[in-house]
């Protein structure tokens, strides 16, 4: 394998391992929110923010932990046939099926970026150019000018009414990291087919 590919695999693995190991502690935040929800409903007035906060934490836990799960191979598989195959046969199947996952993640990322742009008040049809213009404006003219580019920000329809863009941004980041990890897994499968173990 060329050294840039090996560096890519090692870099993506290290990044997603770190993010995944940090993300797994979000479960304690989720437990704390749900515990407070139970206590407040029992002894005080129910808190408006607990249900949606728990949902947002669970989204971050699931989506940011996904690339680490792919890296560990702990995602769900149909092992009826796959479990008995040789390493080479598994590498062939994984190298073939990862394209379906990458296509799905690409469509999901495109939709997530559009939905995130919508949550920031952009109602056009070019969300990527919106984010590019927003980034250029932020760098060249500062946060105030970038803030002027934002429109009416989407809020939840519940009584608490939090902004939706943070959780949609986390979704975009998580799906993008999964795409990067899938590419690393494809390179790893190609190396296995060549007789190398990375």
pLDDT in tens, 93-140: 888 989 999 999 999 999 999 999 999 988 888 999 999 999 999 999
pLDDT digits (tens, 9 = 90+) for 137-155: 999 999 998 888 888 889 9
Q: Among 94, 78, 77, 98, which Cα is nearest to 86's?
A: 94
DSSP-based three-state secondary structure for 196? coil
Place of tokens 């296509």: 103
Q: Which residues contact 188 (CB under 8 A, 6 or more apart)?
A: 9, 198
Whole-prediction pTM: 0.88
The H-assigned helical ranges of the chain are 3-23, 26-43, 50-72, 79-82, 87-119, 127-141, 143-149, 165-193
């Amino acid at each position: 394998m060329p050294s840039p590919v090996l560096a890519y695999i090692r870099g993506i693995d290290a990044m997603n391992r770190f993010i995944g190991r940090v993300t797994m502690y979000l479960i304690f935040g989720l437990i704390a929110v749900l515990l407070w929800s139970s206590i407040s409903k029992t002894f005080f007035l129910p808190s408006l923010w607990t249900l949606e906060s728990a949902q947002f934490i669970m989204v971050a836990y699931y989506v940011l932990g996904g690339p680490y799960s792919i890296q560990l191979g702990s995602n769900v598989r149909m092992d009826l046939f796959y479990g008995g195959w040789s390493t080479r046969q598994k590498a062939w199947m994984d190298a073939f099926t990862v394209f379906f996952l990458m296509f799905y993640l690409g469509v999901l990322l495109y939709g997530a970026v559009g939905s995130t742009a919508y949550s920031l008040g952009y109602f056009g049809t070019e969300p990527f150019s919106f984010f590019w213009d927003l980034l250029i404006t932020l760098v060249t003219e500062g946060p105030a000018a970038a803030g002027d580019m934002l429109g009416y920000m989407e809020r939840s329809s519940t009584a608490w009414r939090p902004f939706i863009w943070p959780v949609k941004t986390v979704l975009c980041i998580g799906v993008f990291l999964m795409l990067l990890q899938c590419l690393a897994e494809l390179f790893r499968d190609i190396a296995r087919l060549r007789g190398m173990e990375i």
